[in-house]
Amino acid sequence: MRTPEIDVLSSHVYATGVPYAQLAHLRCYAPVFRQEIPDPQLLDEAWVITRAADVRTISMRPEIFSSSSGVALRRYRTAEGKRLDVGNFINLDDPEHRLLRNLVGKGFTPRIIRRFEQDYRGLAETIVADALRQNTFDFVTEISAELPLLAICKLLGVPEADREKFFRWSNVLLGAEDPEYTLSPTELADIVVEFREYVLELVQARRAHPREDILSVLATATPGEALTDDEIAGFALLLMLAGNETTRNNISHGLIALMENPEQWHALRGDPRLLDSAVEEIIRWAAPVNYMVRTVMRDTELHGVKLREGERVAMMYASANRDEDLYTDGDAFDITRPDQRHLSFGIGPHFCLGAHLARIETKVVFAELLKRVDRFHLAGPIRRLESSFIHGIKHLPVTAQRF
Q: Tell me the β-bridge partners of 293.
A: 314
Is residue 300 within a helix (H) or strand (E), and if so which, with residue range?
A: strand 300-302
Pairing status of strand 45-49 against strand 312-316: parallel
**SS3 category, 282:** helix
Average pLDDT (175-186) is: 86
d(CA 7, CA 28): 16
Kindly state the average pLDDT of the residues 152-172: 87
Selected residue with higher pLDDT from 291 and 107: 291
Please provide the size of the chain in residues. Answer: 403
- Banded pLDDT at 93 (limits 50, 70, 90): very high
Residue 2 scores a pLDDT above 90:
no
Check residue 239 and give its pLDDT: 86
| Contact by Cβ (8 Å): 232, 342 | no
Instruction: Give pLDDT tens digits for 286-330.
Output: 999 999 999 999 999 999 999 999 999 999 999 999 999 999 899
Residues 6+ positions from 400 with CB-CB distance below 8 Å? 131, 132, 135, 136, 137, 372, 373, 376
Q: Identify the band that residue 183 occupies on the pLDDT scale cut at 50, 70 and 90.
A: confident
Q: How many angstroms separate the Cα of 306 from the Cα of each of 29, 146, 150, 325? A: 17, 45, 46, 24
Examine the pLDDT at 43 and tell me if it is beyond 90. Answer: yes
Domain that holds residue 60: 3-402
* Stretch among 56-70, 83-97, 370-384 having the lowest mean pLDDT: 83-97
DSSP letter (8 states) at residue 105: G
Q: What share of the chain is helix, strand, coil (3-state, %, to 5)?
A: 55, 15, 35
Number of domains in the chain: 1
Percent of the chain at pLDDT > 90 equals 67
For residue 221, name the pLDDT band (cuts at 50, 70, 90): confident
Q: Predicted confidence band at 387 (pLDDT cuts at 50, 70, 90)?
A: very high
Ramachandran area for residue 372 (φ above 0: left; ψ -120 to 50: alpha; else beta): alpha
What is the predicted pLDDT for the residue at 220? 87
What is the pLDDT confidence band of residue 105, given thresholds at 50, 70 and 90? confident
Span between the terminal Cα atoms of the chain, in Å: 47
Instruction: List the single range of 181-185, 205-209, 220-224, 386-390 with lowest mean pLDDT.
Output: 220-224
What's the CATH number where 373 sits? 1.10.630.10
> What pLDDT, on a 0 to 100 scale, did the predictor assign at position 186?
86
184, pLDDT greater than 90 = no
Residue among 65, 66, 57 nearest 96 (CA): 66
Percent of the chain whose predicted confidence (pLDDT) is above 70: 100
What is the reported pLDDT for 326?
92
- Does the pLDDT at position 76 exceed 80? no
Listed residue (335, 364, 367) closest to 263, CA to CA: 335
What pLDDT does residue 269 have?
92
Which pLDDT band, with edges at 50, 70 and 90, does 82 fall under? confident
- From residue 193, alpha-carbon distances to 196, 199, 276 in Å are 5, 10, 40
